[in-house]
Structures are given as structure tokens and as C-alpha cells.
Amino acid sequence: MIRLHHCHQSRSMRVLWMLYELDLEFELVLHAFDRSLRDPAYLALHPAGRVPALEIDNGVIFESLGALAYLAGRHPDARLGGRGIDWLNWLNFGETISQHIAALTQQHIVLYPPEARSKVVCGIEAKRLEKTFAALNGRLTGRDYLLDDFSAADIAVGQALYMGQHFVRLDPFMRLCDYYQRLAARPAFRRALPGQGDTLLYAQDFYEVPDG
């Protein structure tokens, strides 16, 4: 039995996308971003009360990149795993991107009303996020994917790009735009997106750095 605890527009999308790429049978448990994640029964699965929590093989994986690595190793014939320095760097680069997205999400959505947003924090984090996009754009010179072929590293980074576009536009980065379109065309990516009528974290398509 495989069960994934998931919130739309969160890092658990990585695991959902991976499960669809592997064409595995699993149960999907949807959560809202509310106090239900602090319920003792859920905290027994994820001690920080976040998503994902992947119940698999009589255990629980509650880190998204750990889940990707575990699933890739569990299903080697799918060739979504990797070895060596490049594999580790680009798999984990998804978190480098995501830390800036998390800071921007907190400023714009989670913690503060619009009048209390920090222009300084938003500006710094948007610039840092932009630098990660530039780094990816450079990596993709002469490449379709981050490694030789599509892998879980692309899932980790692709999900971060899906989120990051709410704060920094991809348009200035031609190779990155093309890369994202390749990822977004994958059936498993599309299946992992929120459906019509689902509750979304982001009410807007794009959030500008606040004035003043």
C-alpha cells in the first residue's frame, strides 16, 4: 500500500508527479493548509505537520526529495534516478530554489497583510530566485534536461519552477522557458496539477514586489 498526503501547490507535488511518472497505484489524501496538519494522528506521520507524508513499505518518508530518491531507487527500471555529483547537485537544487519561494510565499500570502509586506525582503528574495533561474538557464545550454535524460532531478526543479513563476517571470530565460514547456507537457506533470474547483494556495498568477 502506498498513500500520499498532499496539499495542492506545495512541495508534495514533486512526489505526486513522481508517482504518476512511475504509474504506481496509490491512495491520495488531500489536505488543506490549516490546523488539520497539526492533528496528533497526522503529526505521527510528519513531526513538523507539513506535506508530503508518503506512507510506503511499512514506513513514512516526510521529505519530498528523500521520497524522490527512494522511489527512484525502488524502481530502477524507470531510469529516473542517478548517481554521482551531478545527480545530487541538481536533485537538491530544487530546494535551493524552494527556500526563496517559501520566503516570498510567506511575505505575500501566509504571514502578512498586503500593507505589512516588506519591500526589502520581497526584493531580496525575488532577486535570489532570479539568480537560481539564471543558473538553470546556463546549465541547460545544449541540454534538454538537467542530466543526460529526464530524471527525478527534473521533477524536483520543475515543481520549483511551477511555484517560482508566481514571483519571477521565466520570459527573460529562453532555455529555461523551453525546458519548462517540455516538463509541463508531460502527462504525469499535468495529472499532478490542481483540478478545477480545487482550493489553491496562490490566488494570483503573479505577485509583484510591493511598492513603498
Spans of all domains in the chain: 3-78, 84-187
Give residue 212's pLDDT: 57
Q: What is the pLDDT of residue 70?
A: 98
DSSP conformation letters of 22-87: TT---EEEE--SSGGGGSHHHHTT-TTS-S-EEEETTEEE-SHHHHHHHHHHH-GGG-----HHHH
**Tens of pLDDT along 159-187?**
999 999 999 999 999 999 999 999 999 99
pTM for the whole thing? 0.96
Cα gap 119→127, rounded to integer Å:
12
Which stretches of the chain drop beneath a pLDDT of 70?
Answer: 212
CATH no., domain 3-78: 3.40.30.10
CATH of domain 84-187: 1.20.1050.10
